[in-house]
Structure 1
Amino acid sequence: MSLTSIPCPHCGHQNPPGLAVCDHCATPLANLCPNCGFENPRGFKFCGNCGTNLLTASLVRPSDSEQLRRVRGFIPGQLVDKILNASKQIEGERRTVTILFSDVVGFTTISEKLDPEAVYTIIDESVAAFRDAIFAHEGTLDKFMGDGVMAIFGAPVMHEDDPARAVRCALDMQAALKTLSDKLVARHGIPLQMRIGLNLGTVVVGDIGADLKMNYTALGDTVNVASRLQGVAEPGTILASRAVYEETRALFDFSELGSIRVKGRAEPVEIYQALGVKREPQSVRGIPGLSAPMVGRERELAQLQQALTDLLPRQRGGVVMITGEAGMGKTRLVAEAQQWLTDSALPQTWRIAQGKCFAYGQSAFEIFLQLLNKLFFIQPEDTPETTHAKIAARVQRLFPDTQTQYQILPYLENLMDLPPLEHDLAERIRYLEPAQLRQQTFVAVRDLLLREAQAEPLILILEDLHWLDKASLDLLHYVFSATAEAPLLIICLARHSENQVSAQIERFAATALEEHFTRIVLQPLTVTESAALVDLLLTISELPETLRQLIIQRAEGNPFFLEEILRAFIDRNLIRRRLDRWEVTPTADLNAFQVPRTLESLIMTRMDSLPEPTRHTAQCAAVIGRDFSDSVLLHISDNNPVRQENDLQELMDHEVVVQTLRLPERQFAFRHVLTQQTIYNSVLVRRREQLHHKIAQAIEELYPTRLEEQTERLAFHYNESKDAVRTLPYLVRSAERAAARFANAEALGYFRSALELAPRANAAVETRLRILVGLGNSQAHVGDFEGATQSLTGAWQLAPQLASQSARARRAAEIARRLGRVHERHGKYDEAMRWLELAHREIDNVPDSARTVERVRIYLEIGWVHYRRGNLDEAQAWRLKALEIAEGLDYYAEMGSAYNGLAAVANLQGDWQRAIQYAQRGLELRERIGDVEGMSRSHSNLGAILLNTGEWDRALPHLLKSLELKKRIGDVRYLVSAQINLGLYYLFKSDLVNARLYLNQARQGAEKLHDPNALCLALNSLAQVEATEEHLDAAQKLLTESIALAEKSGVREWHAEALSILAQVELRRGKLDAARQASERALDLARAAGYRQTEANALREAGSVAHAQRNFVQAEQDLIRSIEMSRALTSPYEAARGELRCLATFQQLGAAYFSQRAAAALARLA
């Protein structure tokens, strides 16, 4: 505090010393002591804190040595040393502290009624009592404020129970003032009372002056809330915030008082009144730590050993899920199992690959990239050529067949950011959409792991899966199925309290693998096991029982926490190693040592014991991350190599970090992520930002040829440094990389961050367009059509700002096409067509665009909307136009899509031979580029067409192949169509059990996907099953739901079919008018759309209705027309169904010829 000026409490004006009122606003000024800074009431001649003569004292602050001499007179010497030693370590750090504010009520009355010297005596006694209480609990006195005081607990000296110390101090201060007040009442009849407020929060610690007062900067409202609590407290009470209450309620009695509003805070602050120390204090639970020596895990180890042992005789593996709170020993359990495997006499050799997730800067599929690097023996120093060679050699060894190699190699190399060297391999990737590439990649990874396990039992150990990215989660679920086919064991480690990822993995594995899934949950150690662990760590026969019990009590069964407590004893030299054993240090005062209550304070207590340079190195490493390299650390820490080597050795000796790799450059890791996070949080935000920036620059300078694989880390570090301009390019590239791998969750996160950052980075128009279009595409992939529409509309509005006319038109065409596709998928066909027509007009404005891939895509999307609307001729025409361009330019993906669409049109038109030709051509193209997803759709199309032609035996292999491929690639969306087609196959074969099974699966899948087209078809098909079993009410309900959905979404294809089936159901229910209306509506829709087979079916139902109404002439006309159409369409099944309906009518009409034909058709089908 400077006494060269005095701030006005009202306006803040700085006044020269000696003034009684502000020379700016006339507000009375504080009467500050020039010696100690104490704020005295007006009229005091002597300081109420130190006794200095306020009238004659010099306004010049005493020297540091003089101030230190004076404060040693009333602060315990041991505490002075603690404060001074700690202050050297923590200057410029963030610390969690407890703030105490107090205010004495009644001083004004005393000042008015008593002589100034009497008032001085009272103030002196009260200040001394408050000061003694604060120092007794090793708090730091921040300031005296006339009749109040502010103290800080937790900095510079940190204890495991600082919040409890603050509460005890407040109780002691109230008790001391009560004693003083009783004397005043007895002498003068004037009482004194005090109000106290307590709050727990974070401050930035500054230096400690010679007067032992701490300079600090409050973060957030830490101090404000404490001051506000003091202000609302009733005289004689102590109010605490919820944060203080939560930390100390086991030790003190509290009364809940509701909440108050605090200026600057949106949420109210809950308040509690501290009443006193509990008569029977409860156990205080500490924050969990992590890994520790193996104790008390015999049963869990046996489970894991059994899973390992079962690999060989069963020739199949499984999944083991190990969960537990941080510190329960998950990693240690697996390490013990690995050691057992190494030491066992099992004849078989094993291969183990490990990977782990991180909480920061993680790219999609990160953990699988780690596994692949290990399986291919790839080293960080390997050149791209060497890496290519290693991958190719391993794949060739595992897959001798060249064709199979071509189905594996390009996708693995692409996943690992390696462009395929061979032209043929590159071609397989070039024409695939992200979704197709993702599915092919999944297949390649699964097949690789499967073959590795078949060659040699394979164990995958995946750590920290609670931080698993969404893309890796999907791939992990997919590869689980490989464990049923080979000795592949996947061991998953995760915290069960972090998020829902571990629960998702567990549910999926339990359902998919059943008895081949093992669940291991690590529970806290028992008291006996904890005692055994203490004995394992320290062989001290004379360890005091009180100390042993203290350790066990405070650890509460958490192995890592217990281990950290013991290390704190070692670091403080309370126990030491002598020769080959440990002993308690003879001079150690074990009663004086307080075991840290929380893991945060425990770790920071250990860090405080390290030399300052080592702490600096640890902080720099913590900002880099859990894992860090020697070279990056040296680049940012301003250390010389010798100094850094010493610091790292010190950190390894204290088991803060471990070395994980020696060559080609040394790599280190914090022993536990919580250690890294705690140290990271202690670094000032501004310093963190500077370090993050230096880290990003170091990565760019050290790895200039490997920046693509560092994209996500660079985005993370530049973003944390608040350098928007440098962050944005890496953020956008990270988003595009994730989208290219179909890692939608990660892509969305990156794109949204980039969108938020773009204004601050003054992003160029093209960059903003990349962000908005990329975001819209990713939103569409996950079914967020509203979000996709909003993002793409924003891009559409931005595109006119591009500089050149051709660039504007090209971008506008692409954006309009994507908007059209989004609206089509959402069932908004009119809006879709509006955007696609805009896209068509825009592409016409692009020079030399007559034969571009964008034009082909626009044509295909227009054809698809026409198909959905039932305009089959238009759909066919647009797809043929697209095909004409695509075939000339070898756009294989677009060609496959065009043939697929043409096959769908021909199928609905009843031109099944042409439909088969189109579908087979599409299958050939998709096989050429390795598009498994497309192959599955082509097989599905072929199967559906052959069902319509009555060639059921030929249809079944295609339907089963489609189902197999869709399951293999995890194609949930189009799995529904395969299930529907198989359901129809079994319906035609009168196997209603299997028909219902597949169709119900399809219905559930379509509902989850919100796909109106698939859901209508599933509902129609289920209605036919119900009608066949004479469950007519159930069938009518399903059809009513289908019709309502079709009308809402505009799905004309299945709308007409639903009405045709409904006519049959209503007829059998005896509701002839409803049946006639349904058949007429079905005919109108089918004729308008050109659905010839649906029209034939509707005519059959119309004829049946006419027959029931005894209109035999109309019945004869409709039924004959139905039979003729079905026969012309070469649909024997539908023709036979028509002839069956004719039988009764024609017999009544005496039409023997048709009766005989119907009977013959039935005989052939039987």
Structure 2
Amino acid sequence: MTESSAPIAATPAPVGQRRLLTLLFVDLSGSTAMAEWMEAEHYAAMLAGLRALYERIVPHHGGVIARIQGDGMLAVFGHPEVREDDGRRATEAALELHAAVRELQPPGPRPADFPGLALHSGIHAGIVLVNEGDQMRGRFELLGNAPNIAARLSEAAKRDEIIASEESLGLQSQFFDTGPRFSLQLRGRATPLAAYRVFGRAPVGRRYEASMRRGLAPFVGRGHELATLDAALARTLYGRTLWLGIRAGAGVGKTRLTEEFLRHAADQAERPVQVHRGYCESYLSAEPLQPFLQMLRALDGLHDAPPELFAAQHSQAGQRADALLTLLLALARRTPQLVFIDDLQWADDASLRLLHRLRAGAEREGLPLLLLTASRPLPTSAALQSLPGANDSDADLIELPPLTETEAARAVQQLLPQIDPFIAAEVQRHAGGNPLFIEELCHAAADTGEGLVAGQSSSAWLAALVESRVGRLPPEQAQLVRVAAVIGNVIPVWLLQALAGCGEQHPAVQALAAQDFIFPDQRPGHLRFKHGITRDVVYEATGLHERQALHRRISAELAAHGGNELHEQLAYHDAAANDWPAAAHHAEAAGDQALAASALDRAKKQFRAALAALEFLPDGDDQGRERRRRWVAIAQRLGMACVFDASQDDLRVLKHAADLAKASGDTGLIARTEYWLSYVGYALGETRDSLRHARAAVEMAQDCGDNALLAQLPGTVGQLQAAAADYVNALPMLDLAIARQRARARKSAVNQIGLSFSLCCRAYVLGDQGHFDQAHEIFAEALAPFDGSGHAVEASIQGWRAAVLLWQGRWAEAREAALVAHRVGAQVRSMFTCAMGHAAGAYGAWMQEADPTARQHILDATAWLAPRGGGLYSSFQHGWLADILATQGDAGAARHHVAKALRRGRQHDWIGGAMAYRAAARLAARMGDIGRAKRYLGLARGAGEQRNSLHEAAVTALLEAELRLDDHWQAARDRAGREFERLGMTGFLERALQL
């Protein structure tokens, strides 16, 4: 079959079509009361008048009546053809209906207080399955959530009120006089819905026509950003290592800017630069180290390749990151290198770690390397806005703004050179400077040749634009773009050829490229959607049965093409095809691969996908037992993946695994599940419960003779006892674990991690007891295998180093260690170490220079952890906050955090207890309550003695001297000073000397 003649067969959808529709639901207000006083014949005549209005007005605005039931009506806009202005049409129809019904006079006598006829209406847009209707169901049967939401909006509307969801109206709200945007909690919907009340039409009229051929959006503006990139490239060519990160929302033009710059960089005549490109995806099919492996594959045909290329190509998953690092550094020694990664916000943690290692390695050697990344902004919640970029926190950031008005006008003019200037201005306003919106609006105008109306900023608006373009494609091209969407955002040409008979030179493929749906990727043999949003819209609009059939074919082709290397892709496509046994197998294998590569976030996703797939497998006697055992085994590996970033969801999975294990009666299975329950519970700060699970694991492991588990348990129990401030029992357990782990650390990286973490716990216990020199020696041993590696355990160790340095009053060093913990925690997606590093660094800044922003930084860090339900060592944060707030005199807030810190004692977290009591003593002294202040100081001493903490005793004595509660304050000052000097607590010693 040749490319030019290969048919693209559409798979029929037996149950109907998926359509993006805008739905208008209207109902008569007060109809029940009217039915009581109106004669039946008069009521029937009124209903006939309503129906006549519905049947006249809805089609006038391009809508189709789906059904009329009593005095209510459901109309759809976007069938049989989706239009980009369906939201506006539905709203215009609602306004005209409301006005017409107000003028409608019901027949017969009416009560004196009758207010007249009025409607209440709701408008919403979404994907709907459209089936042919009948006499009972109306003209169409509409299945999906969108009709229900439209009905709920109508229910929420008051008399003569129209409520339109933001998703359906979006930027088209400028055509109407609306109230402010508000959130509405609808019955049966979990999350609030953003909506507007529509009061009438605004004095805005638009016409639009277009006669320009479709083409690539022009590149306009961005002069400042290009100059910044060019300057960075020039510095790189002279031997500098730089990292620039471009940040902007979807569609603002990150990719367009970088493509222009990369084209210029590749054309360097005086001194060439080698350009590497990689992309990240958000799907389960994305593999660990994805962008770097894409670069590696693009280098496959490189002439005069360094020997490191062969090693990178053939290394095992766990060694691939090292091989890739070696390769890229070797290339940089030969010629300047430019590494570009797009959509960094979806990068897996192994890729992020390699990116940071690459930057650090090149800097050490002084190599000419320019790292360029593009990512979307951080979440907009108040707590997360102040979190430095988890992906590109070390980069010099270029925040890419929307186009200016002048730039947007130039873009429209180049795309539509003969356009009416009023329409051009309309496009600018609707696009808001977003190049993607400008491009889509201009394409729509060129396709229809009609006036373009206001666009929408929400997903429904963009989806309507994309769907309207797809709907106007010839059937062959429309089917091809649907096949490509099911494959994914990046489309291997060989796979498209196998599915549709179309290679890169096929006329249909070239037509789609000319119309900016898909275009040749920089990697040979691949195509790519112009925008991932376009791919998502086309995919969602493709019928379920057609999608599933395509997913099955894709899975078969991938398996034949090399299934052992493509577990992530196979897991995704098998799950989408409802082939649950295959999906479970490949997701489990993909999770194991990601775990071996230390891509912990990717491993968690894949293991969760495997568990979800197992739920669909048969549950008979033998099959059910095997399925449950497998579920437990995968859940335990999920536990391994979440020890550095656990959540309550992870704990719930393991609790379910424990229930399954107990039901099986297998002692060994129960022991290991109890072990992971204890470890994940420890990571969440549930120390008391975790100790109970650890003891159960010890008992079960002894019963079944699980020596491997028994070898691991002393370290876990010691860590739990240390977290509970039970240092007397913790130290012997940690010493036992360290002795065993030292012997085993040479055999595997996992054992080395366990050893380092046990050493870290021993170090901070010794530090808490005032043995600072020993603590720092042990920290050095723990850190040595991981220092600068970007591994999650490095973040944990540096976080605890920061805490011990804060105890010692070495503020500057504590801030440096905290910064590393925060940075590495962000790289590896460990929110706990990231947040704790952020908080510790802020407290160090407060102690060193009374930084006024410290309070807010610690509050932010606390808020970051709150959604995960974790509390490990959170008494630290509350103790720091209580100390700062009490010093600032904010008594109410200080008492709140004192209570929070002390409440953590219920889970045996006493690490911040003494500090909280000292803050309470400071507050009491400020109020003149000497007796209460002395009592709190006594409690602070007791909390320190409980941990045998010499530094806590000394700091409590210092506060006693500072408060001058009695005539013995000088003795307390001298006692504190002697201890500070003996323990090397330099920052505190300076405070004592100032009294």
Counterpart position of 2:541: 682
Structure 2 residue corresponding to 1:155, chosen from 58, 75, 79: 79
Distance 2:942 2:469 in 1: 83
Does 2:710 align with 1:855? yes
Return the offset for 1:348: 3.2
Q: Secondary structure at the match of 2:400?
A: strand
Return the offset for 1:330: 3.1
Equivalent AA in structure 2 for residue 616 of structure 1:
Q
The structure with the larger Rg is: 1
Instruction: Please list, as runs of the form range in 1=range in 2, the aligned pairs for 1:387-536 lying within 5 A after superposition.
Output: 390=309, 392=311, 418-420=317-319, 456-465=335-344, 467=346, 487-495=368-376, 507-508=388-389, 516-526=396-406, 530=409, 532-533=410-411, 536=414
Distance 1:897 1:594 in 2: 61
Give deviations 1:916-959, integer Å, cap 9, x for gaps: 997887678889999995799599999989x99xxx9xx99999
Q: May I ask how many residue pairs the two structures share in their alignment? A: 918
Distance 2:482 2:861 in 1: 51
Return the offset for 1:706: 1.4
Return the offset for 1:293: 1.2
Structure 1: 5+ residue runs without aligned partners? 1-86, 114-118, 186-191, 395-412, 422-440, 573-589, 984-991, 1103-1107, 1142-1161
**Structure 1 residues 284 and 843: CA distance shift in structure 2, 3 A:** farther
Does 2:268 align with 1:309? no
Note if contact 1:291-1:330 (Cα within 8 Å) is conserved in structure 2.
no
> Which structure has more RCO (C-alpha within 8 Å, separation ≥ 6)?
2
Does 2:315 align with 1:371? no
Note if contact 1:292-1:329 (Cα within 8 Å) is conserved in structure 2.
no
Q: Relative to structure 2, which stretch is displaced further, 698-707 or 720-729?
A: 720-729
Counterpart position of 2:17: 92
Distance 1:728 1:692 in 2: 15
Q: Secondary structure at the match of 1:493?
A: strand
Distance 1:184 1:1021 in 2: 77
Q: Secondary structure at the match of 1:704?
A: helix
Note if contact 2:753-2:793 (Cα within 8 Å) is conserved in structure 1.
no
Note if contact 1:322-1:520 (Cα within 8 Å) is conserved in structure 2.
yes
When normalised by structure 1's length, the TM-score is: 0.59
Distance 1:725 1:651 in 2: 36
**Structure 1 residues 978 and 650: CA distance shift in structure 2, 3 A:** closer
Instruction: Please list, as runs of the form range in 1=range in 2, the aligned pairs for 1:229-240 lying within 5 A after superposition.
Output: none
Q: Secondary structure at the match of 1:668?
A: strand
Distance 1:1006 1:242 in 2: 32
Instruction: Please list, as runs of the form range in 1=range in 2, the aligned pairs for 1:340-355 lying within 5 A after superposition.
Output: 340-343=264-267, 347-355=270-278
Give deviations 1:549-596, integer Å, cap 9, x for gaps: 787787675555555565557667xxxxxxxxxxxxxxxxx6799999
Note if contact 2:529-2:535 (Cα within 8 Å) is conserved in structure 1.
yes
Q: Relative to structure 2, which stretch is displaced further, 930-939 or 217-226?
A: 930-939
Note if contact 2:721-2:727 (Cα within 8 Å) is conserved in structure 1.
yes
- Residue identity over aligned pairs, in percent, reads 20
Counterpart position of 1:839: 697
Note if contact 1:364-1:472 (Cα within 8 Å) is conserved in structure 2.
no
Equivalent AA in structure 2 for residue 329 of structure 1:
G
Note if contact 2:835-2:861 (Cα within 8 Å) is conserved in structure 1.
no
Structure 2 residue corresponding to 1:612, chosen from 475, 490, 507: 475
Note if contact 2:497-2:503 (Cα within 8 Å) is conserved in structure 1.
no
Does 2:547 align with 1:624? no
Counterpart position of 2:259: 335
Note if contact 2:247-2:377 (Cα within 8 Å) is conserved in structure 1.
no
Counterpart position of 2:205: 281
Equivalent AA in structure 2 for residue 336 of structure 1:
E
Counterpart position of 1:77: none
Distance 1:196 1:1041 in 2: 49
Give deviations 1:651-682, integer Å, cap 9, x for gaps: 3344432232685xx32222222332332232
Equivalent AA in structure 2 for residue 615 of structure 1:
A
Note if contact 1:97-1:203 (Cα within 8 Å) is conserved in structure 2.
no
Counterpart position of 1:23: none
Return the offset for 1:840: 1.9
Structure 2: 5+ residue runs without aligned partners? 1-11, 110-115, 746-750, 826-832, 866-870, 961-965
Return the offset for 1:685: 3.1
Distance 1:519 1:390 in 2: 35
Equivalent AA in structure 1 for residue 575 of structure 2:
N
Does 2:569 align with 1:717? no
Equivalent AA in structure 2 for residue 701 of structure 1:
A
Counterpart position of 1:356: 279
Distance 2:948 2:101 in 1: 96
Does 2:630 align with 1:767? yes
Instruction: Please list, as runs of the form range in 1=range in 2, the aligned pairs for 1:61-100 lying within 5 A after superposition.
Output: 92-97=17-22
Q: Secondary structure at the match of 2:144?
A: coil
Return the offset for 1:722: 4.0
Return the offset for 1:245: 6.7
Give deviations 1:580-627, integer Å, cap 9, x for gaps: xxxxxxxxxx67999999554444344334332332222121122222
Counterpart position of 2:828: none
Equivalent AA in structure 2 for residue 96 of structure 1:
L
Note if contact 1:466-1:499 (Cα within 8 Å) is conserved in structure 2.
no
Equivalent AA in structure 2 for residue 319 of structure 1:
L
Give deviations 1:762-818, integer Å, cap 9, x for gaps: 47222332354455555653364x556544443333222336554444555x34653
**Structure 1 residues 498 and 1100: CA distance shift in structure 2, 3 A:** closer
Q: Secondary structure at the match of 1:781?
A: coil
Instruction: Please list, as runs of the form range in 1=range in 2, the aligned pairs for 1:853-892 lying within 5 A after superposition.
Output: 854-867=709-722, 874-882=729-737, 885-886=740-741
Give deviations 1:81-108, integer Å, cap 9, x for gaps: xxxxxx99x98342425568899999xx
**Structure 1 residues 392 and 961: CA distance shift in structure 2, 3 A:** farther
Distance 1:465 1:671 in 2: 17
**Structure 1 residues 602 and 834: CA distance shift in structure 2, 3 A:** closer
**Structure 1 residues 800 and 675: CA distance shift in structure 2, 3 A:** closer
Note if contact 1:943-1:958 (Cα within 8 Å) is conserved in structure 2.
no
Note if contact 1:252-1:281 (Cα within 8 Å) is conserved in structure 2.
no
Instruction: Please list, as runs of the form range in 1=range in 2, the aligned pairs for 1:237-256 lying within 5 A after superposition.
Output: 250-251=174-175
Note if contact 1:457-1:488 (Cα within 8 Å) is conserved in structure 2.
yes
Return the offset for 1:628: 1.6
Note if contact 2:124-2:164 (Cα within 8 Å) is conserved in structure 1.
yes
Equivalent AA in structure 1 for residue 259 of structure 2:
A
Counterpart position of 1:1146: none
Distance 2:528 2:383 in 1: 24
Equivalent AA in structure 1 for residue 341 of structure 2:
L
**Structure 1 residues 480 and 872: CA distance shift in structure 2, 3 A:** same
Counterpart position of 2:141: 217
**Structure 1 residues 798 and 205: CA distance shift in structure 2, 3 A:** closer
Q: Secondary structure at the match of 1:321?
A: strand
Counterpart position of 1:319: 244
Distance 2:117 2:939 in 1: 89
Q: Relative to structure 2, which stretch is displaced further, 840-849 or 485-494?
A: 485-494
Return the offset for 1:960: 11
Q: Relative to structure 2, which stretch is displaced further, 489-498 or 128-137?
A: 128-137
Note if contact 2:575-2:613 (Cα within 8 Å) is conserved in structure 1.
no
Q: Secondary structure at the match of 1:669?
A: strand
Return the offset for 1:218: 0.9
Return the offset for 1:684: 2.1
Distance 1:904 1:715 in 2: 43
Equivalent AA in structure 2 for residue 330 of structure 1:
K
Note if contact 1:291-1:331 (Cα within 8 Å) is conserved in structure 2.
no
Distance 2:857 2:672 in 1: 40
Note if contact 1:458-1:487 (Cα within 8 Å) is conserved in structure 2.
yes
Q: Secondary structure at the match of 2:563?
A: coil
Q: Relative to structure 2, which stretch is displaced further, 717-726 or 1078-1087?
A: 1078-1087
**Structure 1 residues 1076 and 271: CA distance shift in structure 2, 3 A:** closer
Note if contact 2:883-2:915 (Cα within 8 Å) is conserved in structure 1.
no
Give deviations 1:970-1007, integer Å, cap 9, x for gaps: 57589699989999xxxxxxxx9969899989995997
Give deviations 1:1009-1044, integer Å, cap 9, x for gaps: 863686799899999xx9xxxx9999xx99999999
Structure 2 residue corresponding to 1:669, chosen from 512, 523, 528: 528
Q: Secondary structure at the match of 2:19?
A: strand
Return the offset for 1:1096: 11
